[in-house]
Structure 1
């Protein structure tokens, strides 16, 4: 009996010693994510207009080194093609931007639809005095969103899938422009600002529906930009700049890095 207790004690001692020399147990390391073949398509919101630090390309595309695709690619991409361009509509993307896509492409991001809807003309109308004219311009934009835009998106999305059959495609939407009852003085009335925000909602709805039909992921940036619209205390969007109209109503560098980038990071894998 005594020998049995001695043997048990010795076994316990040896086991404890073995554990002590082995060191603490470590959890298995999380698998690292492979770098991706990434192509960034789209309009001025993807190009980074408004963020500054533009790449000299001779094309007028105003591609920014601070744009969310560039920031994401620097951390995660094994190869990166950046064809997004200021002013691009669906037909421009279809005709000029799809060259880098291939069966090897892992990830595609795109924002497009604003130019198709005539947003530049809507904003130009709404920044001038006249609520009635602004609302009429928004109504015309709605007609385009519900008319030609869905078919244009379908053609583009189908072409993307054909050229990059294995890619994850992330379609990013547009933020609200204005915080209502905000700190802005003068300029548009809240009625006009609300009409512009509602037009953004309508556009995002059309884009999200077409993206879902093609099996793409829609990333809604409106929540990310809440509290950072024009007229907020910390805007991530540029207001009207009469000396540089091109950058008006576009995300700043903060809008790109703090608004759009986290959304792409959350949906890219």
Structure 2
């Protein structure tokens, strides 16, 4: 059948529109978030332990091998604000890191809560102290996690939402530090390791609950790190090391293969 000139022009126009729409949809799916991405949080977001630190970040130790930097580079994000800082508490996030957030911010990630519960002190106590001292310090941290941390997280999440009302906010959890019944022959006992992992689970549970209460997404990394804790055959988390500040933090591989896939999956929505 031969098309009339007018019908031919209409058919060509329709074809062009359909092709353009297809290209637009593909471009939109692969495009960086309009309004940019802001990475908040503590050392688990900054990338302490991953190396490749930005000299300009000082003691915050922000790493180009951290999951926020890797994701931003892979998605060619033009507006990327990296304010996460090693050692930050929830109060520090609110006081020092929210400046880049605004009504156009599209994506926010945050890890916070571990320093509030003083997990660094817990680890030090359990490394140097006996079983009863370690268990008592863990119990103290768990009491804080259950009774006080929810209020701190609520205040932090409310501040983030107030500054970035349209953003997709992803709260990333913490991995279990140890693979139990692994190949570690020295260091902390299996009982101490198990109690520390249980405390990490309690922390993730509270973070997940409070994130849901604010309409945020909780990204649970524990499954991704399974089989890659300290004492495993292929650990993605540093054991006690020098410098000591990097102990018990994800390596560059932990960020690339542990945190990044989980964050990328939730960032897409």
| Matching residue of 2:67 | 68
1:180-259 aligned within 5 A: 180-241=180-241, 243-259=242-258
Cα deviation code 1:185-240 (max 9, x no counterpart): 11111100000000000000010000000000000000000010000000000001
In structure 2, C-alpha distance between the alignment counterparts of 1:177 and 1:240, rounded to whole Å: 11
1:58 is displaced (CA, Å) by: 5.4
Query: In structure 2, what is the equivalent of residue 176 of structure 1?
Result: 176
Q: Distance in 1 between matches of 2:260 and 2:266?
A: 10
Whether 1:31 aligns to 2:26 is yes
Structure number with larger C-alpha Rg: 1
Structure 2 residue aligned with 1:44 = 43
Q: Distance in 2 between matches of 1:182 and 1:148?
A: 34
Q: How many angstroms apart in 1 are the aligned matches of 2:87 and 2:181?
A: 30
Structure 1 ranges of 4+ moved more than 6 A: none
How far has the Cα of 1:31 moved from its partner? 2.0
Per-residue CA distance 1:68-88 (angstroms, 9 max, x = gap): 000000122231000000000
Provide the TM-score with structure 2 as the length reference: 0.88
Tell me how far apart the structure 1 counterparts of residues 188 and 46 of structure 2 sit (CA, whole Å).
27
- Asked if structure 2 preserves the Cα contact closer than 8 Å seen for 1:217 and 1:267, the reply is yes
1:156-171 residue pairs with structure 2 within 5 A? 156-171=156-171
SS of residue in 1 equivalent to 2:128: coil
More helix by share: 2
TM-score (norm 1): 0.88
Q: CA deviation at 1:59?
A: 3.3
What's 1:101 paired with? 101
Cα distance change on mapping 1:58 and 1:111 into 2, 3 Å: closer
Distance 2:175 2:87 in 1: 17
Flag the 1:167–1:58 CA change in 2: closer, same or farther, 3 A: closer
Report deviation, 1:38: 0.1
Match of residue 12 from structure 2: none
Question: Given the superposition, is the C-alpha separation of residues 58 and 157 from structure 1 closer, same or farther in structure 2, using an over 3 Å criterion?
Answer: closer
SS across alignment from 2:109: strand
Unaligned stretches of 5+ residues in structure 2 = 1-18
Total equivalences in the alignment: 244
Distance 1:230 1:122 in 2: 16
Aligned partners of 1:129 and 1:188 also within 8 Å:
no
